[in-house]
Each structure stands twice: as structure tokens, then as C-alpha cells.
Structure 1
Amino acid sequence: MTDNELFLLILVLVMGMPWIAWRLLGDADHAPLVVVQIVVGVLLGPAVLGAAAPVLHARIFTPTAITMLNGIALWAVMLFVWLAGIELDLGAAWAARRDSWVTAGMALLTPLALGSAAGTAILTHPGWIGPKGAPWQAILGIGMACAVTALPILILLMERLAILRTPLGQRVLRYASLDDIAIWAVLAVILLDWPRMERQLAFICAFPFVASGIRLLMRRLAEAERLRASMVWLAAAGLAADWAGLHFMVGAFLAGVILDRSWFDAQALDRLRDMLLLTVMPVFFLSTGLRTAWSMGGVDLIAVAALLLAAAVGGKLIGLRVAGHWLQWRRGEAGVIGWLLQTKALIMIIFVNILLDRQVISGGTFTALLLMALASTMLTTPMARRGLRALAALERQDDPPVSASGQHRPN
């Protein structure tokens, strides 16, 4: 087969297999399509198909085909991270700053601490750190991976739960938005490249001035032109960040953060996100699956993934319970918010892909973190739905019954 034919065959597999499997499962709560797409990517990778049929795997996934896939995946994920940056609403977070900062802080710091402790324990054994990673980089990276919340996927899940536009849903978005800033800030610290420090300082110093110019330009453009101009700005910001040694994903996120969502047609941005998930993000999920490695041994890998899952889930739930007690939330709210913020799949996978690219973590650590992200995201919707039902029952219980005349009467 020619390279083009192989590439199109891969697209048939990537687009068809997850959708068919998802429809057969018939339960979007326990297996969101995004999770199924990632699992199919893992099954088609060297860990499963490559081990079961190495000749077939090598024949389909040739170096040329993988290069073509990686090019699409790179642009797709840059667009998705850019959209995540636009979703940030710092004005709303500032208006409710006590609630926002306390909650976001506890939702981030507790799983970060537990994940870092788990990372410290894991790295006492050989093979879990990348060849170019310092222990502090790997530990901080693992801890941050446990603390991540995937804002774009969270939006999709809250739409399915019919709570996105409710006060509770908007609060959760504020918390996740603030944590998103911390994720990329920590990544920038991990990726500090001392030999290229001059470039990084130049990028940091120049970016605010360039961003001010871009904001001024965007205000003067017609709404229909802003999206086109944003594509050029996204590519330029990614190029500049990568040239500086901060990685193009940091540039993509910053390119979105400095733009106001109100400058764009909200429905157009939602459609763009949905189309990305439909058309090109499955290619990124496949490219992620092609990087999974079981070289550390199946039992060890599952044990590490389970430890990381306990740190991630337990950290979020404990942190939110402390925040809820401090801020005097209603009964049941802390649990619901804690489960909603477990959503990890996409942003965490992007995050650990970058750590693997820079050889901060090993392939085994990457695979363990990927398994943790899949399990955490699969738990999110069913557990949050259950918590929402309990919360609604508590509200009905707290409301006094109404008599036939319309007057509340005591229980």
C-alpha cells in the first residue's frame, strides 16, 4: 500500500472503531466517547496490537504515516488548548474571589501534594524517570498530573448533566479555570531550559507588549475576521514559545488566555470545539496510544496507576471537603464538585505527552498516568450524577411542604 493509502486506512480505524464501540456500549456515563477514543488508541499502539501482531503493526504504522498523523495531532491539540485558554473567565473569578481562590487552591494543592508524595515513592525504583529529567521535575510533573482538571471535557460533561448554565456549573468552571492557569505555569517551570534562558526571558518580557497589540487589533476587527486572525496569532505564539524552549503548548494556552470570549460568537466556538473532537482530536488520541509502553511490567504498572488514581481522586475529594467546610457550603455540594473536577482525560494527556517529549518521565510512567486519567474521567459522570441526585433530594427535604392554599406548612 502507498503512504496515502496507509494514512487513510489508519483514519478509517481511528474514526470508525471508537464510534462503533461507543454505540455498542450504550452508556455514555461510564464510557464517554473521548475515553473510548483514547482506549482504541492504546489498543492500536505497540502495547497491544504491536505485541500481538508486530509485523501487522509495523506494516500499518510506518514512520511516514506516523509523521503525517503527528502533524495533524499537533495542530489539533494546539487549537484545543487555545480554546481552553479562551474559556478562562478571570473577571468572574475575581468577583467571587474568596470562594474561587480557596476552592481552586484546595482542589489543586491537595492532589498535588498527594500526587507528589506518590511520585516520590515511585521514583525510588529505577525506570520511572526520563533520561533528561531531574527528580524534582518528575515529582512535580506527576503531582501536577494528579491535580489537573480538563476544562474543555468538563464543559462537555456538564452539558450532558444539564448543569453547565446553572449557578453550580458556573462555579465549577471558575474553579477549573483558575487551576488551568496553575497547570501551564507549573509546566513552564518544569520546562525551564537554562541554556536557553536568554530566549525565555526575551519571550516573557516581550509577550505582554505583543499581547497588548493583539488585543488592540482584535477589538478593531469585525467579529467574523477575529477567528481567522486568531489562527495566525495561535501559530505565531506557539512558534515563539517553542523557540524560547517553553514548548508550543504553553504558547497556545497563552494565545487563548489574552483573548476575551465575548469577542467571538459563543456558538461558533462551541461548534469549533465539537468539530475538533469529531474530526481531528481522535488522531491525537491515536498518537497518544502509539506511545504507551508496558516495559515496566503489567503488575507494577497497574499498581502504580492505582496509587496515582488514589492520590488524584482522594486529593480532590479531601480538598473540596475542606473548602466546603471552610466556606460553609450546603450539604452534598463538596462531593459533587469534587467528582466533577476529577475530569482529566484530555488536558492531563497533553501535559504528560509534553513531559514524555522532553524525557522528564519514562514511557512506563506515561502509561501509568494515562491509565489513571482514563479511570478518573470514567468515574466523573456517574459519581457526579449520583451526587446531584442526592443534592436534589436534600433540597426537597429542606423545603417545607406546600398546602393546597399555597402556604408553606410545617413538617
Structure 2
Amino acid sequence: MHTGMSTTEIFLIAMFVIFTLPYLIWRVGKTDYYAPLVVVQIITGILLGPGVLGAIFPDYYKFVFNPQVIQSLNGIAWWAVMIFVMVAGIELDLKKAWEHRRESTITAGLALGMPLLFGCVAGMGLLTMDGWMGPKAMSWQFVLGVGMACAVTALPILILLMEKLEILRQPIGQRILRYASLDDIAIWGVLAIILLDWTRVGRQVGFLLLFAITTYLFRKLMVWLQERDRWYVGLIWLAACSFAADWAGLHYMVGAFLAGAVMDAHWFNQEKMDLMRHHVLLAIMPVFFLSTGLRTNWAMGGVAVFVAAGVLLVASVAGKLIGIQVAGKILKWEKGEASIIGWLLQTKALIMIIFVNILLDKNIITSETFTALLLMAIASTMLTVPVVYPKLQKMKELIFRSK
């Protein structure tokens, strides 16, 4: 009965499902307190994937998500996440971090280092069992990749959650952004190390040299341009950097981050920047969430994947909270301050999902590991607001403290 439908028609059915189902769950179920729309979209993507919808209704799954439709969806997803990562790079505020460098480096270092250590231990545990490490990975790449996935803070989602909590523009929100910004740079640096390909080292060195030269010229051009032209030229720059990075073997997402990181936030109106991020999340990022869900795999068994996800969640949350508590002791923060900051910084979601998508693309992890990490990211993000909101209500004066 489906033979008369064209690929375009089936693609539009898939788009209808992608945008309708998560919205209805979010709006009718009133999940916003525990699960913002982006989290519901990720969960829906998993439910629409091969492990759930594909297992229950295999014929309909194969009909809607056939190879041609998936190829079309993947193209949209790639561009969506490239824009999103570029905006995240633009929003890095390293000048503020430098002004408060002692506090920022101590906090960011412990916030990243402790969960990285805990995550690496969990990764070594997975390494002892078959089916978790990707076919092209070396042991150190797998362990470091899992460890960094546990250490990631999702800067864009953190911004959305702090907006919800009404602390983004307050001193505590700006402090947390400084810590997360430094960790964001470290994440992409570690990813570049993991992806280092000695067979392409010449290309990679050449890319970095060419990027340094063109960045100088690009920045001169952007200062000269009017703001309305900067957005358009920025997208051209994004495509060029992403292509060059992927050609060099570093993955196009590394290029997308670098494309944004060398742009200054003050080149753009902050309100327009916020709207850009909002519209990307609204209009095209749901396609990325769906394509991510389609990559989940439960072949090892649901119990094993959920147990692994639980272990990774404990490593991630405990590592982040312990690291921030140590930073709080060193910097003599008030009682309860470290707990609030730690719970906010353990937010995962988008950046971690992007990170593990890259690891899966490069066959460093298997789809089972990818699924466990994805579940961990969802649980981590869903914990944030319910835990932090009551704590903020008890410490309202903390919101207005600058340091």
C-alpha cells in the first residue's frame, strides 16, 4: 500500500513525525520542569529508532526511515549541528575567564579533571568486556573518549537551563559560563588528540597552518563588514572550515567549533545571537535528535546497556560534584554554593551527544556504547532543574554574588 509514495512524500511524513510527536509529549505532558523540549526530542528520537519502533513495527520503520529518507535527514542534521556548534564557539568568553583566571582555572580544571578520571575508570571497566570498544579504536582512545564524555558540560543547554532558572544574566550565571567555556575548549582539544591520525599528520599540520593564516585574514574582513553581512560570511567560513577539518581527518565538527571560536561575540548583537540559537533549535535541530536516535542499538541487551548507562551516570555526576566541592574548599565558597554550581555544570545533552556521535563515526565506540552514553546524557540533563531549583530558592543571595 506504500508503493505509490515518492521519497519526497515519505520524507515529509518523517518530518511531520519528528516535529509533532515530541511537541505533543512536551506540551500535553507538561514535562518542562523535568525534561525541556530538547530532551523530549532526544528521547523521542530514541523511541523512533530501530531498538523501539523498529522492533515493534519493523515494516513501518523500514517504510518511513528508508535509506533515501535517512540520507536526506542526515544532511539536514549535519548542517544544523554545525551551525549550533559554531554559535557555541562564538559565545565563548575567554576575556572574562582571563580576568578571573585563578578562580576560573581552578574550578574549570577540577570540574573537568575529576569526572574525566572517574569516566576513564568506567571506560577501563567496559574495556574488559566485548562489544563496547569500536573496531578502529586503540584502548587509550576508547578510555579517553568515554572519560571525556563523562566530563563534558553542554554549554548551549546550560544556557537554556539557566535562562529557565532566571540566573543566566546574573553574576552566578556569568561565573558558571566562564567555567563551562574553559571546559568547552578542553573538550574539543581532547577530541582532536583522540582523532589524531598519524597517516594524515601532514594534512592535519597543513590544516592548522592554513587555518591560522586564513583566520587572521578572516578576522580583518569581519571587522570591516557590517553586522548583517557578518552572519552570511560567517556561514561561508563555517562550511570552509568544516570541509578543511574533515579533509584533514579531524572531523567536520572540530572545524565548526574552530570556525566559531575565532569569532568575537561583540561582532554580533546579543539578542540576535540568542534568536539564532533559538531558531536553529526550533527549526532544524530536531532532525539531528531524530538522526541520533536512529543510531541507537540494543543488540547487546537492554539490561546491559542500562547498567552501563547507570555506571557512567554515577561516574559523571559524582566526578563533577566532587571536583567542584574541592574547588569550593580551595576558593572558600559559602556552604551550598559548590553544590549548585556542580549540578549545573554536570548538564550533558547536546555537546556530549555531538561528541559521542563523532566517536561513533570514527568507530572508536560501538553503537551499544553510544546508546549507553546517550541515556546517561539524558538522565544527567533531566536531573539538573529539579535538583538546582530548590537549592537556589534557599540561597537567593548567591544569585547576585559576583565571585
What range is the shorter-chain TM-score in? over 0.9
C-alpha distance in 1 between matches for 2:75 and 2:333: 46
User: Matches of residues 204-353 of structure 1 in structure 2 within 5 Å?
Assistant: 204-353=208-357
Q: 2:128 corresponds to which residue?
A: 124
Check conservation: 1:332, 1:390, Cα contact below 8 A. Answer: no
Instruction: Map 1:172-183 to 2 at 5 A.
Output: 172-183=176-187
Q: Secondary structure at the match of 2:129?
A: coil
TM-score (norm 2): 0.97
How far apart, in 2, do the equivalents of 1:321 and 1:240 lie? 41
Residue 172 of structure 2 contacts residue 398 of structure 2 at CA under 8 Å; is this kept in 1? no
Distance in 2 of aligned mates of 1:98 and 1:345: 28
After superposition, what is the alpha-carbon deviation per residue over 1:253-282, rounded to whole angstroms, capped at 9, x for unaligned?
000000000001111111111011111000
CA RMSD of aligned residues (A): 1.2
Distance (whole Å) between structure 2 residues aligned to residue 136 and residue 55 of structure 1:
40
What is the aligned partner in structure 2 of residue 7 from structure 1? 11
Match of 2:147 in 1: 143
* Change in CA separation of 1:394 and 1:272 when aligned onto 2, cut-off 3 Å: closer
Q: Secondary structure at the match of 1:45?
A: coil
What SS class does the counterpart of residue 31 from structure 1 fall into? Answer: coil
Cα displacement string for residues 278-307 of structure 1 (whole angstroms, at most 9, x for unaligned residues): 110000000000000001111111111000
Task: Report the CA distance shift for 1:51/1:118 in structure 2 as closer, same or farther (over 3 A).
Answer: same
For structure 1, list consecutive stretches of 5 or more residues without a partner in the other structure.
Answer: 396-411
Q: 2-side partners of 1:209 and 1:292: how far apart?
A: 40
Among candidates 153, 168, 183, match of residue 172 of structure 2:
168
2:179 equivalent to 1:190: no
**Partner in structure 1 of residue 117 of structure 2:** 113
SS at match of 2:395: helix
1:16 aligns with 2:17: no
Give, in angstroms, the shift of residue 390 of structure 1.
Answer: 2.4
1:38 equivalent among 38, 42, 58:
42
1:153 aligns with 2:168: no
Q: Confirm or deny: 8 A CA contact 2:200 2:249 kept in the other structure.
A: yes
Opposite residue 31 of structure 2, the aligned amino acid is: D
> Which residue in 1 is equivalent to 2:368?
364
Q: Tell me the SS of whatever aligns to 1:188.
A: helix
C-alpha deviation, 1:159, in angstroms: 0.5
Counterpart AA for 2:35 = A
Question: How far has the Cα of 1:393 moved from its partner?
Answer: 7.8
1:210-260 C-alpha deviation (Å, 9 max, x unpaired): 111110000000111100100100000000000100000000000000000
Letter in 2 for 1:63: P
**Match for 1:358: what amino acid?**
K
1:125-169: CA deviations, max 9, x gaps? Answer: 001001101111010000000000111111111011000011100
Aligned match for 1:68, one of 67, 72, 82: 72
- For 2:396 and 2:26, the matched residues in 1 are separated by 30
Structure 2: segments with no counterpart, 5+ residues = none
Q: Using the alignment, how far apart are the partners of 2:358 and 2:64 within structure 1? A: 25
Tell me if structure 1 keeps the 8 A contact 2:188–2:254: yes
> Structure 2 counterpart of 1:226, which letter?
R
AA of the residue aligned to 2:257:
F
Using the alignment, how far apart are the partners of 1:299 and 1:18 within structure 2? 25
Structure 1 runs (4+) deviating above 2 angstroms are 392-395
Answer whether contact 1:331 1:391 (CA < 8 A) is retained: no
How high is the sequence identity, in percent, across the aligned residues? 58
Q: CA deviation at 1:180?
A: 0.3
1:88 to 67, 85, 92: 92
TM-score, length-scaled by structure 1 = 0.95
Aligned residues: 396
CA distance in 1, matches of 2:352, 2:157: 11
What CA distance in whole angstroms lies between the structure 2 residues aligned with 1:28 and 1:43? 19
Distance in 2 between the 1:120 and 1:27 partners?
A: 36
Q: Single out whichever of 25-34 and 369-378 deviates more from structure 2.
A: 25-34
Q: Aligned partners of 1:4 and 1:205: how far apart in 2?
A: 43
- 1:97 aligned partner, one-letter code: R
- Whether contact under 8 Å (2:96, 2:178) holds in the other structure is yes
The residue identity in structure 2 corresponding to 1:153 is I
Contact 1:89-1:177 at 8 Å conserved across structures = yes
